[in-house]
Amino acid sequence: MRKINLIFGIILFLNIFFGSLYAQQKIANTQDSLLKDSIYMANKNEVMNYSLKEFDHLFFEFSNKKNDSSLVLTKQEFYNYTIKIAAFSDRLAKLYPKDKETAELSKKKWFAESYQDYLLSKASHK
């Protein structure tokens, strides 16, 4: 229970932090949206069965790869991680109905992640 609360806290913190960075909503690229939707549909059932340990592994693997300056994820890899993390929010919403709103916000935040923004952040760190 503490781990789930910790993950919700981390996700909420990241959601607030990244949400405050952008004053305007960006219009999503249609190709990216189609890719995100296809990844979501292909992985939704698998992710709904993830244990908290499997989710932790996925989340920290993504964080490590995203922060590794010598590694650039492909668009497919990037969206694979972000959409799986978003899909896990569906599981949390079903397990904890009181936190459904927080899970929805988290899901929207992860779906809004942009590969272009990721590449720009990689370029700025060089």
Q: Is 2 exposed, middle or buried (0-12, 13-18, 19+ CB in 10 A)?
A: exposed
- Crossing angle, helix 2-21 and helix 75-95, to 10 degrees? 130
Summarised one tens digit per residue, pLDDT across range 54-92 is 999 999 999 999 988 889 999 999 999 999 999 999 998
The pLDDT score that the predictor gives to residue 53 is 94
Nearby residues of 73 by Cβ (< 8 Å), 6 or more positions away? 65, 66, 81, 118
Number of domains in the chain: 1
Tokens matching residue 91: 């599981």
Nearby residues of 19 by Cβ (< 8 Å), 6 or more positions away? 109
Query: Does this model's pTM top 0.75?
Result: no
The pLDDT score that the predictor gives to residue 106 is 93
C-alpha to C-alpha distance for 75 and 115, rounded to whole angstroms = 6
Range of the domain at 94: 2-124
The pLDDT score that the predictor gives to residue 13 is 60
